[in-house]
Structure 1
Amino acid sequence: MERLSPEQLLSELVDVEDLLIVQDLDGVCMQLVKDPLTRRMNPRYVEAAARLRGSFMVLTNGEHERRRGVNRLVETALGSEDRPAKKGLYLPGLAAGGVQYQDRFGRLSHPGVSPAEMDFLAAAPRRMEDLLLERLPALLPEVDRARLTQLAHQAVLDTQVSPTVNLNGLFGLIPNDLERQQQLQLLLDDLMEQLLQEADQQGLQGSFFLHAAPNLGWDATGRERIKPSVAGDVGTTDIQFMLTGSLKEAGLLVLINRHIAARWGEAPLGDDFNVRTAPRTHQGLMELACSTIRPEWMPRLVGVGDTVTSTPAPDGQGWLRGGSDRGFLTLLKDLGRWCGQENRVILVDSSHGEVDRPGLADGSLKGISDPEDPLHLDLLMPAGPEGYINWFRHLAERRSEKVAA
């Protein structure tokens, strides 16, 4: 299948009456950075998202609120802490993989999450720091204790419902040492596994899972595969401690359900449908949608992401495919085939930031896709977030002009 140019997709979407753009954030509308607290958001992007009201939702593994939340970036971009809430300029949609919902006024909820789970998550960042400080000295003996304490604190992202350890600062100490970078990834995986066991011991069996970003899909036990560091591709940089059910593909159905309810006055999956009650497999999600949603109520969907991976399997038989956006983009395409419409997928090149990732510049898609990949990428954005924002703004402007006319 041929890919589209930005102008072709723009022209295709301008006149769509019932449109829903479902978009990731980091690496898509802002550059990937080693320290999330240094992220910046373009005010023109925020304004364009507001123009697309009713046709735009975010779906991110990041979070909306607190000091690391995207809401702070919106406020900084617009130069006001009050205006976004008063004018409804926050980015609506799902965060933390789908367990944190926000409307455009910044009203937040965590459907399906228990107080005991919230309490464990609140204590998790400090526990992550302590475990890092126990294990890092053996791997980084040349780094003194004071520096390791500082790095461990920086590595832990103290978000509300998806606390995360980010390895970028530690990778910076050993930029050319692939063996120790891989050892760091395994250390982190083991550390987070210990945290899962501690949750089980507190009566929270099955409440949480580990999300590796980027990853190589799921193994036979249902765990995400770490993507090892190799030359030119740092591989897995983050592991998030997430609530079970926090899957973007389930989040996509939640957003579709809410969109249909707003447009047609009826939520086909129920008013209380959320990612924690949703099926956890692609097949289960497809079966639920096909048996419950009227095809004529389905909006025309456009999915936008930056994290899709594919590498040859070690045994030479096939491919290991993953990436935090692959699941929801694949479901989006399959839903289009089911209801007889051409849903579109946009992939943004996130290799322009501070994190070493495969890019789109040479057109090979090495490390991203493969010749047998069932996920068709309709539009590639090799210019990265800057190129995507320009396209997004033009779409918002042209749809606004159409409405005004």
Structure 2
Amino acid sequence: MMEKPPYRRVAVFGAGYIGLVTGACLADLGHRVVIRDIDPEKIKLLQAGEVPIYEPGLSDLIGRNKERLSFTLDLAEAVTGAEIAYVCVDTPPSASGDADLSRVWSVVTSLKDAAHLRAVVVKSTVPVGTGSRVRAALDAAGLGHVGYAANPEFTAEGRAVSDFMHPDRIVIGTSDEATARLLTELHESVDGPVVVMSVRSAEMVKLAANALLATKISFINEIATLCEKTGADVEEVAHAVGLDHRLGPHFLRPGIGWGGSCFPKDSEALRQLANNTGYHLQLLSAVIEVNNLQKRRAIQKLKDELGTLAGARVALLGLTFKPGTDDMRESPSTVLASRLLAEGAEVHCWDPMARPAAAEPWTSTTRHTSVEQALEGADAAVIVTEWPQLAQVDWTQAVATMRRPVLFDGRNLLDPVAMRAAGYHYLSVGRP
């Protein structure tokens, strides 16, 4: 691929989901990119052409841009000649509930001698007001001439490459016109509108957007519970509600609860931000509570059917928080597995991509390479993740291998009539 002038030299700090996607996509746009991380094993894999995470299209993107994209542990190698430094490191919750910005500050501090930079850009999700502190730190380090911007990401795992290249919007938060122009040019070939605003507004946009999406999911899950109690069908309700142009159909799918790297963390971060200002976000607190209860309601449904979970064999089908990724951060499966084990159940699992940590609850579960193996001898099964492979299972044949054919479809993936005809005691979310 020919380079598209004017190309820039970019240093990306952090080789996680956001850093790798950002770096690879910028390289695909024609820019020269060096991605730096402090994890030797991760960098070794990347230098060998192996991608340590699963994200559709990412491996191919990295492979075809290897002449413009490199990986390093060395700070000097990353910043030498760089015009723009992207901060894409994790900001996990701290003990107080606030975002842990230690990795952000580690990167910012390491740039104190990079006077040649034109801009420092934070893509990590940070509390509102972080940019002002970073700006002050850059000024104190003699980098007052270096621009600063917040450029939050809105990519969804499983389609992150597409979301970067064809975004709904590119948010650039800066008070510096030159930095705004620089980043606008950087994204010139990206198919999406650029929205320039203040740094604080840009920091708030990411938190507010994810909190609103989480709200829609928790809302439809509450409606699903009410549908179960009244005999209504939540899928019929959600379809009709979604046809209202003011509301739209997106994120109105009931299920076992939301998880992942963004919704739980960002919702809690926004709630903590409000608490720190002395304001209590009542609606958001309810959204989080509904989601927490949704996972536990699944356990109660199994107890209602089986009488007791002690000694029962339960198959969890899907472990990642969504299909199309290997990410298990804040996945409902972790809560389900923990609660099932605590109730005395024997837990068997299947997932095509998940890589559970070598820690509880996963060290006390049994992994299987096929759905059929996980179902064999089970008293109950729970569809946790709507992997497309589950729709291809020969459920008519599998029912004969189960000890008790109780199936809770936590994602409403399968047809209730067909599953009951096949002999399952079929349960779902919000469907009569």
TM-score range, shorter chain: under 0.3
**TM-score, normalised to structure 2's length?**
0.26
**TM-score, normalised to structure 1's length?**
0.27
